[in-house]
C-alpha cells in the first residue's frame, strides 16, 4: 500500500515504519495519524510480523503536532472532535513497538516516541515538550508519560520551560533505553526488534502487558496480574519447548503457541 506520509517496509519478521513529511520535519497531522493506524493495523494482523520499529528521518523523528493545522482551531473545534484522542489507539498497539529516534522528538513527536514500548536514541537525538512556548501544554501524554518515565523534577523542568534535552540527558533520566551512534540507529533498532520477533509470541505479548500494567496499577494488583500471566504461559507449547531446549543445550524452535 502506498502512503503519503509514511514509508513502510518489512525486514524479515520486523515491520519498519518511517515518518515521511520532510518538508515539515515529520510534524504529525491527521493524515499521519490515519496512515499510522492503517500501517499498525496491517502489521498487527500479519502473523509473520513479531515487532515494529517506528522511526523518522536523520534530522527529525517528529517536530511535534502540526502547528499549521492546529493554529486556526478554537475550543469548540478541538472539544467537539476530541482532537488528538485518536492517538490513544497508537499507544495501545499489542505487538512491541520500538521508537528509533534521531534528531528532534519534540511535543507530539516526543509523546509519540513515549507511546512506543522503548526508545533507542541516536546520539543526535533531542527531546522536549515545547508546547508551553506556543501557549498550550502537552496533549498527547507528555505531562503523564514523561513524568512516569523521568520523574517530577525533570518533567516539570522540561514541560514548564520547553527546553530540549540531548540523548545523554535522556538516557541518564530514564527516557531512553540506549543511545547509539546515529549511523547505527536503524541497524540497532532492527536487531532489537528481530530478537523480540524471534521469541515466543505469547510470552512477548504478555511481557509487554505486564510491564505496561506496572504504570497503571498498585504494586499488589500488578504482582497478581504478573503471576497470573506467568502461570498461563505454562499452558503453552513454547514453554515446554523453551525449557527443553535449554536442558538439551540447543536452540528452541518456537511455534508461537
Binding site for ligand HXC (CB under 6 A): 24-25, 27, 63-68, 84, 104, 106-108, 130-131, 134, 138-140
Distance set, CA 65 to CA 22, 97, 108, 129, 247 (Å) = 14, 20, 5, 11, 51
Q: Which helix (H) or strand (E) holds 19?
A: strand 14-19
Q: Which of 109, 128, 131, 188 is catalytic?
A: 131
The pairing of beta strand 118-122 with beta strand 97-101: parallel
Instruction: Kindly tell me which of 30 and 239 has the beta carbon lying closer to ligand HXC.
Output: 30
Q: Which of 65, 100, 155, 167 is catalytic?
A: 65
Instruction: Kindly tell me which of 24 and 199 has the beta carbon lying closer to ligand HXC.
Output: 24
Minimum separation from the CB atom of position 250 to ligand HXC (A): 49
Tell me if residue 108 is catalytic: yes
Q: Which of 15, 108, 141, 142 is catalytic?
A: 108
Instruction: Kindly tell me which of 18 and 95 has the beta carbon lying closer to ligand HXC.
Output: 18
CB-based contacts of 169, cutoff 8 Å, min separation 6: none
CB-based contacts of 87, cutoff 8 Å, min separation 6: 33, 108, 111, 112, 115, 140, 141
Instruction: Kindly tell me which of 66 and 171 has the beta carbon lying closer to ligand HXC.
Output: 66
Minimum separation from the CB atom of position 227 to ligand HXC (A): 37
Q: Closest residue (Cβ) to ligand HXC? A: 107
How far apart CA 80 and CA 177 sit, in angstroms, is 37
Tell me if residue 128 is catalytic: no
List the beta bridge partners of residue 128: 106, 164
Minimum separation from the CB atom of position 255 to ligand HXC (A): 42
Cβ count near 215 (within 10 Å): 11
Tell me if residue 111 is catalytic: yes
Tell me if residue 131 is catalytic: yes
Give the catalytic positions in this structure: 65, 108, 111, 131
Amino acid at each position: 500500500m502506498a502512503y503519503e506520509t509514511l514509508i513502510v517496509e518489512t525486514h524479515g519478521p520486523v515491520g519498519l515504519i518511517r515518518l515521511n513529511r520532510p518538508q515539515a520535519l515529520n510534524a504529525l497531522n491527521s493524515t499521519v495519524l490515519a496512515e499510522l493506524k492503517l500501517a499498525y493495523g496491517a502489521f498487527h494482523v500479519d502473523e509473520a510480523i513479531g515487532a515494529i520499529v517506528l522511526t523518522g528521518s536523520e534530522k527529525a523523528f517528529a517536530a511535534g503536532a502540526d502547528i499549521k493545522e492546529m493554529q486556526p482551531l478554537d475550543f469548540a473545534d478541538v472539544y467537539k472532535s476530541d482532537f488528538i484522542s485518536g492517538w490513544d489507539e497508537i499507544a495501545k498497539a499489542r505487538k512491541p513497538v520500538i521508537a528509533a529516534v534521531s534528531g528532534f522528538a519534540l511535543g507530539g513527536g516526543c509523546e509519540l516516541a513515549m507511546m512506543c514500548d522503548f526508545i533507542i536514541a541516536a546520539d543526535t537525538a533531542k527531546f522536549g515538550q515545547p508546547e508551553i512556548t506556543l501557549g498550550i501544554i502537552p496533549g498527547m501524554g507528555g505531562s503523564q508519560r514523561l513524568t512516569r518515565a523521568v520523574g517530577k523534577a525533570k518533567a516539570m523542568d522540561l514541560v514548564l520551560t520547553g527546553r530540549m534535552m540531548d540523548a545523554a540527558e535522556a538516557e541518564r533520566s530514564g527516557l531512553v533505553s540506549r543511545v547509539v551512534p546515529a549511523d547505527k540507529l536503524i541497524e540497532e533498532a532492527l536487531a532489537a526488534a528481530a530478537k523480540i520477533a524471534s521469541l515466543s509470541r505469547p510470552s512477548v505479548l504478555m511481557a509487554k502487558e505486564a510491564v505496561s500494567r506496572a504504570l497503571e496499577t498498585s504494586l499488589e494488583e500488578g504482582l497478581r496480574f504478573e503471576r497470573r500471566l506467568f502461570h498461563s504461559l505454562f499452558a503453552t507449547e513454547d514453554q515446554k519447548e523453551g525449557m527443553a531446549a535449554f536442558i538439551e543445550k540447543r536452540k528452541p524452535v518456537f511455534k508461537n503457541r
